[in-house]
Amino acid sequence: MDIVVLMKQVPDTSALIRIGEDKVSISTEDVKWVINHYDEMAVEEALRIKEQQGKGKVTVLTVGKETAVATLRTVLAMGADEGILISDPALEAIDPQITAKVIAAALKNIHFDLIIAGHRAVDDDAYFVPTAVAEYLSIPFLSMVIRQEIKEGKIQCVQTVKNGSMVVETELPALIATQRGLNEPRYPTMLNIMKAKKKSVEIKTLSDIGLSLEEFGPNALKTKITSLTYAPKRKAGEMIDGETVGEKATQLVQLLRAKAVIL
Ligand SMILES: Cc1cc2nc3c(=O)[nH]c(=O)nc-3n(C[C@H](O)[C@H](O)[C@H](O)COP(=O)(O)OP(=O)(O)OC[C@H]3O[C@@H](n4cnc5c(N)ncnc54)[C@H](O)[C@@H]3O)c2cc1C
């Protein structure tokens, strides 16, 4: 089974993010880039399917800047077979719809039985790209997947829903998106890190995947970021005085009534 994983590199969630001078982008100096965690789960799941079936190929596809090559090397070290980066100066201005359009165009040149994506990218949180890619490719889409089983050309998935789960089945080829709980991604071993250096990472431009540059650039954006602001600083906590547990509890209840107004 040939599987394509959609992977986005995102700033490390522990990194201090600074808004750039233009006030509509983040300053990428000193940012440590990592794999979006939901995409790491997607890679892990693809590798498990390949291992279980004893054959097939896992290709990891990303749209981004050349810095993404390092992230692709990490997933190759996890065990993926090849990496593809779509990078082009015309993608300097990009929005979720354009991202999905580029991914779908790239996928038209790749054989796949299954595509696995994350259900969200933890930086921009559009929750959009996988749905749109499936729509562009006219294939079924299942999100929030916490378990999957492939049998006789079909995939059966357990999806999380409010207060429970739901089992849904569809024909392959299909696109599924991962949810927390699906698996625990493996760490690359030293041997696989060495092997990954010899694996292929292809860098393609928009024209390489058959797209015309005229359809891209700032004027093609359907949505534009007009400002970015920091979240308000959290207020300092209030210490509760009191000699005994009883006194502290009484004061806590008074504060919950008077200040938090939740009692
Ligand atoms: C209004 C707006 C304007 C923007 N303008 C710019 C801009 O000018 N310049 C800029 O650099 N960014 C810009 N961005 C950010 C960029 O558009 C998003 O990162 C991108 O469109 C995908 O959205 P997301 O990351 O929230 O994906 P989501 O839809 O939350 O991602 C879900 C999954 O889709 C897949 N996926 C997402 N992105 C990629 C990718 N790049 N490659 C492969 N797989 C992927 C992954 O599997 C991921 O887990 C903008 C975003 C918005 C909302």
Quick check: CB of 144 below 6 Å from ligand 1? no
Q: Whose CA is nearest to atom 45 of ligand 1?
A: 8
User: How does residue 258 score in pLDDT terms, banded at 50, 70 and 90?
Assistant: confident
Q: Is 222 exposed, middle or buried (0-12, 13-18, 19+ CB in 10 A)?
A: exposed
Quick check: CB of 94 below 6 Å from ligand 1? yes
How many angstroms separate the CA atoms of 173 and 152, rounded? 12
For residue 263, pLDDT over 70 is answered with no
**Which pLDDT score is estimated for 169?**
98
In contact, 33 and 9? CB cutoff 8 Å: yes
Quick check: CB of 130 below 6 Å from ligand 1? yes
**Which pLDDT score is estimated for 131?**
98
Mean pLDDT (whole number) for 239-257: 90
Quick check: CB of 125 below 6 Å from ligand 1? yes
- CA of 120: how far to CAs of 6, 22, 66, 130, 186, in Å? 11, 26, 22, 9, 20
Quick check: CB of 136 below 6 Å from ligand 1? no
**DSSP single-letter state for residue 19:** B
pLDDT in tens, 6-28: 999 999 988 888 999 999 988 98
Q: Check: CATH 2.30.33.40 for 2-220?
A: no
pLDDT in tens, 197-237: 999 999 999 999 999 988 898 888 888 899 999 988 888 88
- Write out the residue limits of the CATH 3.40.50.620 domain(s) in the chain: 2-220
Q: Taking the model in full, what pTM does it have?
A: 0.90
Q: Closest ligand 1 atom, CA of 42?
A: 47
For residue 262, pLDDT over 80 is answered with no
Q: Is 241 exposed, middle or buried (0-12, 13-18, 19+ CB in 10 A)?
A: exposed
